[in-house]
Chain A
Amino acid sequence: MSVFTKTQFAAMLKAAAAKIADEHESLSALDAATGDGDHGVTIHRTMQAVDAATDENVDKPLSDFVKAVAMKVMMCDGGSTSPLLGSFFMGFGNAAPADELTPEQTAAFFEAALAGFYGISKAELGDKTMMDSMRPAIETLASELTDGSGDIKAAFDAAAAAAAEGAEKTKEYVAKFGRARTMGERAIGHQDAGATSIMHIFNAFASTL
């Protein structure tokens, strides 16, 4: 498989929304250990918006479709998740030249989303945030697509594995952002809820192929 289509991406977004709907209570419970216990509520609402925006806009060109998703995400009023994932989806819109993408273009599509996320997040690897699973997932995806086999399914499987590994590693980290920041070393041993959400999302992406 060497072409990535808008239809595949739409199916991925809907699968991710369904996965988060299944997991939102466990995500809130994870967040309660180091934050204020509502990450699951916020990410669930955000992904429900992604699901609805996908249905409403999937007939538009890919670039307009993802920008419409981004606007709906930002309108969710979900604390830091709105600007973070809003910027992530807005980033996709900067590298969506057609409704069918080559492996190289698919890599650039996801790298643009990561760049959008970076533009607002300021978090680095090891800061115990969504970045800890998102960046390894997208970097792995891009390198599989450009330097590896170029096979779309293999690349998303590898990205999902990288996201899971990144989320697992957050247990070792002290938080630098968000409400867990002031916990210091007491945050060690707890897996970050945001990184776990991104893990579920990439896992769902891979499951559709």
Chain B
Amino acid sequence: MKKFINDPNNLTNELLQGMALAYPRKVKIVDEKLVVRAEAKSSDKVAVVSLGGTGHEPAVQGFVGKGMLDVCAAGDIWAAPGPPTLLAAMKEVNREAGMLLVTLNHAGDVMSANMAKQMAEAEGIKVVEILTTEEVRPTADEEGRGLGGCFFIYKICGAAAEQGKSLDEIAALANKINDNMATIAVLSELATHPSTGGVCGTLGDDEMEICAGQHGEGGGVVMPMASSKETVKILADKIVEKKGLKSGDEIILIINGSGKTTLMEQYIAFKDASDYFTDKGIKIVGGHASEVLTVQEAGGYQMIVLKADAEIKELWEAPCDTPGYTVQ
């Protein structure tokens, strides 16, 4: 493993401190594991809270800031925070208007969120949870995990919260987004766990894996490497089929590089995807090609699509200012 690190057991603390030092106007660190907005949102507005492991930068802690998350509880590398850390995050932004808790569907995150939510409710904290499950799996009866689509919930529900929408309205919006989005991952190179140096999974030199999940932990369909255009068609076909997209629909499209795949490749994939959807009469009304949720040096990307309506389009364009994403 060739990584510029210090103590492999202190990666999370060092990276969070570095992020706060780089963006002091946007975020601050509280009690080592909570990333909090540098300037709190007014307390009559609903807070948006999330949790997650680290080692996925900028996700998920990097989306704390104006117009997105109010606080995010960090765990450790690829591991969710325990319930007390998430409870502390919820207390940090507790308010009468309540809060939306965004949980990505992974075993540790779900368990911690369930326990922390019970503890919070026992203390009178008003919280509604949205569990993101938007991953496209190889077969329709498998429950999807929560991949990079959490970004849409953070951005759009965060904007709604800034506008002063109620918790009920924001929870309904979160459900609408989860129902109308889909993410599919392709993996071309394996990730290294930065604490152990261990390589995660197996994949041949000339192979790629479709539906590979967040960490390249496998479970997808392995096939020979293909061109950008061919790969985009495989991914986009599955999204169109799963969401029933048709001519006249409008979408927001994200190509989210996993770490090793270059921005050049991400832009090429975005062009190919744009051509693909345009051919089908599906209009791209918003987009982003960048690293949103990475997995160390994993190669590949996630294609994230959200079917948009007027409400979603307006909130997508609203200003935000976080270490990981800014809209002026």
Contact = CB atoms under 8 A, between A and B. Distances in A.
A and B assemble together? yes
Interface of A: 25, 28-29, 32, 34-38, 40-42, 45, 71, 73-84, 86-87, 120, 177-184, 186
Given A42-B79, A75-B84, A34 B108 contact: no
Contact of A76 (B82, B137, B196, B200): B82
Contact of A34 (B106, B195, B217): B217
Give the secondary structure class of A's interface.
helix
A75 B79 CA distance: 12
Contacts of A183: 217-219
B113 to A, nearest CB: 9
Contacts of A81: 79, 108
26 contacts: A28-B193, A32-B199, A34-B217, A36-B216, A36-B217, A38-B193, A38-B196, A38-B198, A45-B9, A73-B82, A77-B81, A79-B53, A79-B79, A79-B80, A80-B80, A82-B83, A83-B112, A84-B111, A179-B215, A180-B217, A182-B217, A182-B218, A182-B219, A183-B218, A183-B219, A184-B219
Contacts of B46: none
A38 to B, nearest CB: 5
A82 B108 contact: yes
B75 A36 contact: no
B115 interface: yes
A38 B78 contact: yes
B74 interface: yes
B213 interface: yes
User: Which of under 10, 10 to 19, 20 to 34, or 35 or more describes the interface residues of B?
Assistant: 35 or more
Nearest to B81: A77
Interface in B163-210: 193, 195-196, 198-201
B16 to A, nearest CB: 12
Contact of A75 (B53, B77, B85, B198): B85
A74 B108 contact: no
Given A32-B200, A74-B83, A37 B108 contact: no
A82 B82 CA distance: 5
Contacts of B219: 181-184, 186
B283 interface: no
B107 interface: yes
B33 interface: yes
Give the secondary structure class of B's interface.
loop
B193 A36 contact: yes
A77 B85 contact: yes
A193 to B, nearest CB: 12
Nearest to B115: A83
A28 B107 contact: no
Contacts of B297: none
Given A34-B218, A38-B193, A183-B219, A74 B200 contact: no
B275 interface: no
A83 B216 CA distance: 24
A29 B200 CA distance: 10
A29 B198 CA distance: 7
B76 interface: yes
Contact of B78 (A32, A36, A40, A83): A36
Nearest to B75: A77
A78 B79 contact: yes
Contact of A79 (B74, B108, B114): B108
A33 B122 CA distance: 40
Nearest to A180: B217
Contact of A77 (B79, B107, B114, B216): B79
B215 A77 contact: no
A34 to B, nearest CB: 7
A36 B76 CA distance: 13
Given A29-B198, A182-B142, A182-B218, A79 B75 contact: yes
Nearest to A29: B198
Nearest to B295: A36
A86 B115 CA distance: 11
Nearest to B78: A36
A150 B80 CA distance: 40
